[in-house]
């Protein structure tokens, strides 16, 4: 892990601590598509189409989860979506992107414990 990765990780952890813990599952639910937007499979497909297949593969498979940057995630989700989520939850856009980049790899990893996406994702 390089120094930039370490700094990003520290910033993301700090941003996550500043959020109300009850808000985090709601934000992840929105991003992962619990509102009918296609679910986990849809976000995974978007990430793969954006050239982040290695990261996604590491999250679904066994082993260490590769990181994703807040900027990469914001580009995949789209600025409008990130702004809408930030407004809905009363969180600065940068903080939302940073926290999502920290939490999304683990959320996808936990949703695919056997190394494959569930059929209902």
Reduce the secondary structure of 18-58 to three states and give it as a string: HCCCCHHHHHHHHHCCCCCCCHHHHHHHHHHHCCCHHHHHH
User: 22 is in which domain, residue-wise?
Assistant: 3-111
Q: What is the pTM of this model?
A: 0.74
32-79 per-position pLDDT tens digit: 765 444 577 888 888 999 999 999 999 988 889 999 999 998 999 888
Is 78 contained in some domain? yes
Is 83 contained in some domain? yes
Count of domains observed in the chain: 1
The two three-digit tokens of residue 121, written as one number: 């994702």
Is 117 contained in some domain? no
CATH number at residue 48: 1.10.10.690
- Looking at residue 120, its pLDDT comes to 55
- Looking at residue 48, its pLDDT comes to 93
First to last CA, the chain: 31
């Amino acid at each position: 892990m390089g120094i930039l990765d370490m700094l990003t990780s520290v910033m993301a952890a700090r941003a996550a601590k500043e959020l109300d813990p009850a808000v985090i599952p709601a934000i992840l639910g929105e991003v992962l598509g619990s509102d009918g937007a296609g679910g986990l499979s849809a976000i995974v497909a978007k990430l793969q189409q954006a050239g982040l297949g290695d990261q996604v593969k590491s999250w679904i498979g066994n082993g260490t989860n590769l990181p994703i940057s807040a900027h990469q995630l914001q580009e995949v989700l789209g600025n409008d979506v990130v702004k809408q989520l930030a407004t809905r939850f009363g969180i600065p856009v940068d903080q939302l992107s940073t926290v999502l980049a920290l939490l999304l790899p683990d959320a996808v990893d936990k949703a695919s414990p056997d190394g494959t996406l569930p059929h209902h994702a």
